[in-house]
Amino acid sequence: MLNAWGCITTTSTSTVETESKGTLSQVVNPYLTIKWMYQRRIIVYAVSGPLVMQEVAETWFVNVKRILTTWSPQLPYLAIHDLTNANVTITPYIVSSIRDLYNLRPELTQRIGIVVPRTLTAQLLKVLVRNRDRDTMQTQFFNTRDKAVSWMLDYSAASSTT
């Protein structure tokens, strides 16, 4: 089911959109909230719930893929994946989906910030995505969303002056 933002929901839960201080938020379902920050220059995917549940992981990846495939090639894709409230689990589906996302739109300039809790499984996720960067993509891990946002804003400021 597509909602008003063109995001795919896998439950019948209605979406809730709010706007405050330049941030537009959308609750896709109980497991995924999408936030657009800084005049839609930065997108945050806040995942909650156990990633071992196919519905949680699928909702996340399907929405990321949909937004990424329609992203303008003239703009850098600045995305934060906040997994601090998710029970991070590595499954074959997670591994395959991450690989698919890293191979999608290689021509697009991307900066990906991943916010993870300090757990062993989160450390394994870091190993999984290590060495996937390319000339047009940088990935960095953080323990707080604020640090990830600062990293994005540093890039955004630097790229607007060139």
At 2, list the tokens. Answer: 């597509």
131-157 burial by CB neighbour count: b if 16+ within 10 A, else e?
eeeeeebebebbeebeebbebbeebee
Give the residue extent of every domain in the chain.
17-160
Distance from C-alpha of 28 to C-alpha of 34, rounded to nearest angstrom = 7
pLDDT number for residue 105? 93
pLDDT number for residue 53? 82
Q: Is the Cβ–Cβ distance between 58 and 9 less than 8 Å?
A: no
pLDDT number for residue 146? 96
17-160: CATH class: alpha beta
Q: What is the pLDDT of residues 104-139, one digit of tens each?
A: 999 999 999 999 888 887 788 888 777 666 788 899
Helix axes 120-129, 92-103, angle to 10 degrees: 40
At 153, list the tokens. Answer: 């804003």
Sequence-distant (≥ 6) Cβ neighbours of residue 61 within 8 angstroms: 97, 100, 101
pLDDT at 90 over 60: yes
Give the residue-averaged pLDDT of 75-84: 94
Would you call 114 helix, strand, or coil by DSSP? strand
Q: Is the Cβ–Cβ distance between 35 and 25 less than 8 Å?
A: yes
Q: Which amino acid is at 136?
A: T
Q: Is the Cβ–Cβ distance between 67 and 9 less than 8 Å?
A: no
Instruction: Give the DSSP letter of residue 80.
Output: E
At 128, list the tokens. Answer: 């999984």
Q: How many CB atoms lie within 10 A of CB 158?
A: 9
Q: What is the pTM of this model?
A: 0.82
